[in-house]
Amino acid sequence: MTLAIVAPSFHQPGEPYIRDHVRTIAPGDTVLVCRDPRGIAALGCPVHRLAAPPWHTRIASRLQSKLHGLRSSSPYYIVPGPLPPNERERLVGFLRSHGVSCMLAEFGTMGIEVMDACDEAGIPLFVFFHGADALVLPRQDKNGLFPALFQKAHTVLVTTEFMRKAIASIGCPAEKTVLVPIGVDPDRFSRRTGHEPARKVAMVCRLIPQKGPLNCVDSFARLHRAHPDATLDIIGDGPMRADIEKRTEELKLSDAITLHGPQPHERVVDLMASADLLIQHSMAVPGGNPEPFGISLVEAMACEVPVVATRSGGIPEVVADGETGLLVEEGDIDGMAAAMIDILSSPEVAARMGAAGRQRVIDRFSTGVITQRLRQTLRLGGDD
C-alpha cells in the first residue's frame, strides 16, 4: 500500500502529529502533497507541490490568519474549491505514477481541494478533521462543498466525540465517521525536576479570545497572592499579546509572568516539562470554535504535569477530571485559581495526577496506539 498524505504544510510547530502520521502510518510507502514545502525534505518522502491558490483566496487567507492569530497565511480558515482542472490532472498523474492506493487529507479544507482528483484517480479519500474545519468553516460554505466532500469521502476521521457530533450536525453520515484521537510519542516527553522556584505554571496556546488567555492571567494573579513564588510561562503568540502585556503590568506581575512568544516544538516541550502545572482556559466566543481536542494538554500529561482547564469542547475527553487534573466551567476565574492552588499546595496530589496523566497518554493517546488505529481505518475503511 502506498499512502498519500495531503496537508497545507508539514512544518507547523503546533502540528507535530501530522509529521508523526508521515513517519508512522506507512513508513517507506508514503508520498506527500502540499503547498508549502518548508521542512519537508527531512521527512524523506516524494513530494508533489500544489500551485499557489488564486490571489483572492490568498488575501482571504491572510485576513483570516490575522483574525485567528496565526503567524503566517493559512488556508485553514477559508473554504476552498476543488483543484482547477490543470492542477487536478497534475496531481492525478503524481498519484498514479507512485501507485498510490489511498489518500489521507489533513483538514477538511484539503479534502475539498483533492476530492475530485481522488475520484479521477480511483483511490479512496480519508479526511481528518481537526477543529475549525468542522466547527467554523461550514458556516461559510455557500456552495455545498462540505456535503459534496462527505458524499465523496470514503471515511471521515475526528479526534473526539464532541467533534463527531459537530460533523454529524453538518450532514456527515454517522457510518462514515471514525474517532481517532491525536497521538504523541511518550518517549519524547519526560518530567524535568529539581528546578526553582517550586510553583512553575505554563500556558501553551495561541493568544486568541477562544483560548481565554486573560482569564488565565487573572487566575494566576489569585494564585500569586497565595503563593508569591509562583511563576507563569506563556508560550505562543497572537493578537491578544499586547492585552496580556498590559494586564500583566496592571497586576504588577511583570517579574512573575514571562511571555516567550512562539517557540520551536522542542523548546515548548522543555518549558512544559519543567512546569508544575499547565493551564488552559478555552471558551466559546462569537465567531470562534470551541476546543476540539487540546494537543498541549496531552503533551503536558505525557510530561507528568497535571492540568487545570475548562470543560470546553473536547477537553473533558482528554483530561480526566480529578484524576489527571481539574476542570472548571468556562469563565470561572476564581474556580480556576482555586484548582491551581489545590494542586500546587499538595505535592502528593500533583505527583499522583502527573503519574495518572502519563499513564492515560500511554493507554489512550500514544503514537503506537493511534498509529494502529489509523492503519486499521485506512485498510478496513471505517471499522471503529
Q: Is the pLDDT of residue 13 over 90?
A: no
Contacts of 288 (CB under 8 A, 6+ apart): 136, 208, 209, 210
> What confidence tens digit (pLDDT) does each residue in 183-218 have?
999 999 987 765 554 699 999 999 999 999 999 999
> What confidence tens digit (pLDDT) does each residue in 74-92 have?
444 567 889 999 999 999 9
Q: How far is residue 331's CA from residue 254's CA, in Å, rounded to a whole number?
A: 23
Strands 257-261 and 231-235: parallel
Whether a cis peptide bond, with omega within 30° of 0, leads into 197 is: yes
Single-letter amino acid code for the residue at 220 = F
Of the candidates 136, 172, 132, the residue with the CA atom closest to the CA atom of residue 155: 172
Q: Is the pLDDT of residue 59 over 90?
A: no
Q: How far is residue 334's CA from residue 183's CA, in Å, rounded to a whole number?
A: 32
- Percent of the chain past pLDDT 90, that is, above it, reads 77
Average pLDDT over residues 225-247: 95
Q: Which residues pair with 4 in a beta bridge?
A: 31, 103
Q: Is the pLDDT of residue 233 over 80?
A: yes
**Do residues 293 and 131 lie in contact, with contact meaning Cβ atoms separated by under 8 Å?**
yes
**Do residues 156 and 138 lie in contact, with contact meaning Cβ atoms separated by under 8 Å?**
no
**Do residues 44 and 31 lie in contact, with contact meaning Cβ atoms separated by under 8 Å?**
no
Compute how many other C-beta atoms are within 10 angstroms of the C-beta atom of residue 181. Answer: 22
48 CB-side CA count, 13 A: 22
**Do residues 190 and 303 lie in contact, with contact meaning Cβ atoms separated by under 8 Å?**
yes
Q: Is the pLDDT of residue 379 over 50?
A: yes
Long-range contacts of the stretch 251-258 (C-beta < 8 A, 24+): 251/217, 251/218, 251/221, 253/217, 253/220, 253/221, 253/224, 256/220, 256/224, 256/230, 256/231, 256/232, 257/217, 257/220, 257/231, 257/232, 258/231, 258/232, 258/233, 258/234
Average pLDDT over residues 248-255: 97
**Do residues 212 and 238 lie in contact, with contact meaning Cβ atoms separated by under 8 Å?**
no
Max CA pair span of the chain: 64
Residue 328 dihedral angles phi and psi, to the nearest 5°: -130, 170
Of the candidates 270, 136, 134, 107, the residue with the CA atom closest to the CA atom of residue 195: 270
C-alpha grid cell, residue 14: 503546533
> What confidence tens digit (pLDDT) does each residue in 95-107 have?
999 999 999 999 9
Q: How far is residue 363's CA from residue 59's CA, in Å, rounded to a whole number?
A: 43
Q: How far is residue 355's CA from residue 271's CA, in Å, rounded to a whole number?
A: 18
pLDDT at position 136: 83
- Percent of the chain past pLDDT 70, that is, above it, reads 90
Q: How far is residue 200's CA from residue 220's CA, in Å, rounded to a whole number?
A: 11
Q: Helix, strand, or coil here: 203?
A: strand
> What confidence tens digit (pLDDT) does each residue in 142-176 have?
889 999 999 999 999 999 999 999 999 999 999 99
Q: Helix, strand, or coil here: 65?
A: helix
pLDDT at position 74: 45
Rg, Å, the chain Cα set: 21
Number of residues that make up the chain: 384
Q: Helix, strand, or coil here: 130?
A: coil
Average pLDDT in the chain: 90
**Do residues 254 and 246 lie in contact, with contact meaning Cβ atoms separated by under 8 Å?**
no
pLDDT at position 299: 96
> What confidence tens digit (pLDDT) does each residue in 23-35 have?
999 999 999 999 9
pLDDT at position 67: 53
Q: Is the pLDDT of residue 70 over 70?
A: no
